Amino acid sequence: MTITKSTKSIVSGFLKAVGEFPDRPALEVDDQTYTYQQLGKRAQDIAASIKAYELTANSLAGVLGYRSFSAYAGVLGVLISGKGYVPLNPEFPTERTFRMISLSKVNVLIVGNECLKELKNLLPLIKQSLTIILPDTEAQEDLVKNYPVHRYIFSSDMPDHQDPVKEPEVDGEGTAYLLFTSGSTGIPKGVPVSHNNVISYVEYICDRYDVNEHDRFSQTFDMTFDLSVHDMFVCWQREACLCSIPQKSVMAPAKFINEKKLTMWFSVPSVAMFMSKFRMLNPGVYPTLRCSLFCGEPFSSVLAAQWQEAAPNSVVENLYGPTEATIAISYHTWDSNSTPEKCTNGIVPIGTIFDGQKCRLIDKQHNVAATGQPGELCLSGSQVTKGYLNNPEKTRSQYIKIPSVGENTWYRTGDLVKQDEDGCLYYLGRIDNQVQILGHRVELQEVDHALRKASGTEMALSVAWPIKDGMAAGVVGFIGGQNNAEEAQIFEYCRSELPEYMVPRKLYFIKDIPLNSNGKMDRLQLKEMLDKGMSA
């Protein structure tokens, strides 16, 4: 057997569509429709600018864009240039974005016009010289004057490329995108995901849902959330059309689904929860949907049943997967007859591992757990990434060998699950302090860290609260002891350090933080205090 090195990029499917079906719609955003030709052209011009001005060997480039033509063209342009993209989010605190730029060492930024303000916040922090490409912004003299260390390419400087787009040459194991997840030490963890990882996922999903050129995809996720990769690259792989939902409509997108005649839905379950409360899940209201996927947090069976009634022509599936295993790696298809009795605590099972990927449950000693016993879920296969960016220690602790099952490397998810005889997986909880807030992964230690820095006391702890339909709606903070820290200052510090969903919604100043039997501050007791009605 000869092993040929894969050189396929995740952008290959899109480029094929540009060549074969240039006039099909590829993207609807801001009330504009762009064909494959138009989106491809802009992406190619961005790629040409990167190639012309980026002379270093760095394999990554940043994209600071938000639900705009430039954001999508930016992602595609970076990939066409042969680099991987690092999505940056103007909704995140500037400090955090700056840290992502530093950690990923990018030398190139693609910036959408909607993020100009955030760029101006960032530039005073950035010392090294960058190439900043602003494809839809006219020349800005103040930028050039105030921050002359960088090279700017404004809309009028963009190359106008007429040649057919060439496939980039990439190493299949090279990074397609780099995402950052919440880290317990207060520094976000970088997860590089390779072209091979993503192609495995995209090909499996395209076949699984028989995606075709008539499909119209929702795009609900921010690009800093890896589920957005599904939206973009599953859609474009099969010449379908991506419909970007404006941020202000994401919470309750009933009108959007019907106006855009969406066929493929993908969101966090929280969106279904909001829609249910807004009475937007009445029977039969979404006849065009044929496939509804939910991922990112526990999916309540009540919501799944309501969604199924509202979208009677749609399959409804709960997907599960950590960023480290590329977007999603297991599924459970909702069946109104058989699923309800399979639900634990009213939560839909995370289901069956995708064909070709593997899972094992391990106990605390890293032995394979006995059949039927709860254990930590470990994953292996073509979708599983190789480790964290510049963090060998964390990589060693999460990417392990399980001696009794051969030489494979297994990613430890930190999720406690059990598995039945049919291989169906049931989510039981976390083995650590990670929680999901509106689908975002949050290490509570990272919030603790911010609270401690802000209050100047070590006696500070965060709790995921309140819990609604099995989902955490936010975080609250506890500050212990005699404390002079001002509430407003603590909030302000947290807002400057943490994305909005991680900022405590409320602070409680209490005399003593309860301790557990080991003398450690006890989150569980604080949660019980809240349960008993401590919240006003």
In the complex, the smallest distance separating the C-beta of residue 465 from another protein, rounded to whole angstroms, is 11
Piece in contact with another protein (CB under 8 A), picked from 149-157, 195-203, 468-476, 512-520: 468-476
Categorise residue 30: left if φ over 0, alpha if ψ from -120 to 50, beta otherwise.
left
In the complex, the smallest distance separating the C-beta of residue 29 from another protein, rounded to whole angstroms, is 16
Restricted to residues 152-191, the positions that interact with another protein (CB under 8 A) are none
In the complex, the smallest distance separating the C-beta of residue 403 from another protein, rounded to whole angstroms, is 46
> Measured from the CB atom, is 285 or 485 closer to another protein?
285
Piece in contact with another protein (CB under 8 A), picked from 47-55, 130-138, 277-285, 453-461: 277-285
- The reply to whether 432 sits near another protein by the rule CB under 8 A is no
Categorise residue 347: left if φ over 0, alpha if ψ from -120 to 50, beta otherwise.
beta
Three-class HEC string of 457-518: CCCEEEEECCEECCEECCEEEEEECCCCCCHHHHHHHHHHHCCHHHCCCEEEEECCCCECCC
- The reply to whether 93 sits near another protein by the rule CB under 8 A is no
Which residue's entry shows tokens 């392990």? Answer: 400
- The reply to whether 126 sits near another protein by the rule CB under 8 A is no
What are the φ and ψ backbone dihedral angles of 32, each rounded to 5 degrees?
A: -120, 145
Categorise residue 18: left if φ over 0, alpha if ψ from -120 to 50, beta otherwise.
alpha
For residue 532, give every residue at least 6 positions away whose Cβ sits within 8 Å of its Cβ, in sequence order, or none: none
In the complex, the smallest distance separating the C-beta of residue 247 from another protein, rounded to whole angstroms, is 7
- The reply to whether 145 sits near another protein by the rule CB under 8 A is no
Choose, by CB under 8 A, the member of 124, 164, 246, 403 that binds another protein: 246
- The reply to whether 467 sits near another protein by the rule CB under 8 A is no
504, 500, 447: which is closest to 93 by C-alpha?
500
Choose, by CB under 8 A, the member of 441, 505, 509, 534 that binds another protein: 505
Choose, by CB under 8 A, the member of 26, 280, 293, 451 that binds another protein: 280
R_g of the chain, CA atoms, integer Å: 23
Three-state DSSP at 426 gives strand
Strand-pairing partners, residue 61, are 85
Piece in contact with another protein (CB under 8 A), picked from 151-159, 249-257, 447-455, 517-525: 249-257
DSSP H or E stretch at residue 448 = helix 444-455
Distances (CA, A) of 366 to 375, 414, 466: 9, 12, 33
Helix 227-237 and helix 195-208, axial crossing angle in degrees, nearest 10: 70
- The reply to whether 336 sits near another protein by the rule CB under 8 A is no
Cα–Cα distance between 394 and 384 in angstroms, integer? 16
Choose, by CB under 8 A, the member of 431, 473, 485, 529 that binds another protein: 473
- The reply to whether 53 sits near another protein by the rule CB under 8 A is no
- The reply to whether 424 sits near another protein by the rule CB under 8 A is no
- The neighbour count for residue 94, using CB atoms within 10 Å, is 17
Distances (CA, A) of 381 to 240, 365, 403: 28, 22, 17
- The reply to whether 278 sits near another protein by the rule CB under 8 A is yes
- The reply to whether 254 sits near another protein by the rule CB under 8 A is yes
> Measured from the CB atom, is 77 or 470 closer to another protein?
470
| Contact by Cβ (8 Å): 409, 401 | yes
**What amino acid is encoded at 175 in this protein?**
T
- The reply to whether 302 sits near another protein by the rule CB under 8 A is no
Count of chain residues binding another protein (CB under 8 A): 22
- The reply to whether 491 sits near another protein by the rule CB under 8 A is no
Piece in contact with another protein (CB under 8 A), picked from 164-172, 241-249, 404-412, 455-463: 241-249
- The reply to whether 261 sits near another protein by the rule CB under 8 A is no
- The reply to whether 251 sits near another protein by the rule CB under 8 A is yes
DSSP state of 368: B
In the complex, the smallest distance separating the C-beta of residue 279 from another protein, rounded to whole angstroms, is 6
470, 411, 400, 469: which is closest to 435 by C-alpha?
470
> Measured from the CB atom, is 252 or 400 closer to another protein?
252
In the complex, the smallest distance separating the C-beta of residue 313 from another protein, rounded to whole angstroms, is 18
Cα–Cα distance between 268 and 280 in angstroms, integer? 16
Tokens encoding 371: 């059949």
Choose, by CB under 8 A, the member of 25, 474, 477, 480 that binds another protein: 474
> Measured from the CB atom, is 258 or 483 closer to another protein?
258
Choose, by CB under 8 A, the member of 185, 247, 344, 373 that binds another protein: 247
Choose, by CB under 8 A, the member of 95, 167, 500, 522 that binds another protein: 500
Piece in contact with another protein (CB under 8 A), picked from 35-43, 270-278, 327-335, 476-484: 270-278
For residue 422, give every residue at least 6 positions away whose Cβ sits within 8 Å of its Cβ, in sequence order, or none: none
- The reply to whether 117 sits near another protein by the rule CB under 8 A is no
- The reply to whether 535 sits near another protein by the rule CB under 8 A is no
Residues that bind another protein (CB under 8 A): 246-249, 251-256, 274, 277-280, 282, 285, 468, 473-474, 500, 505
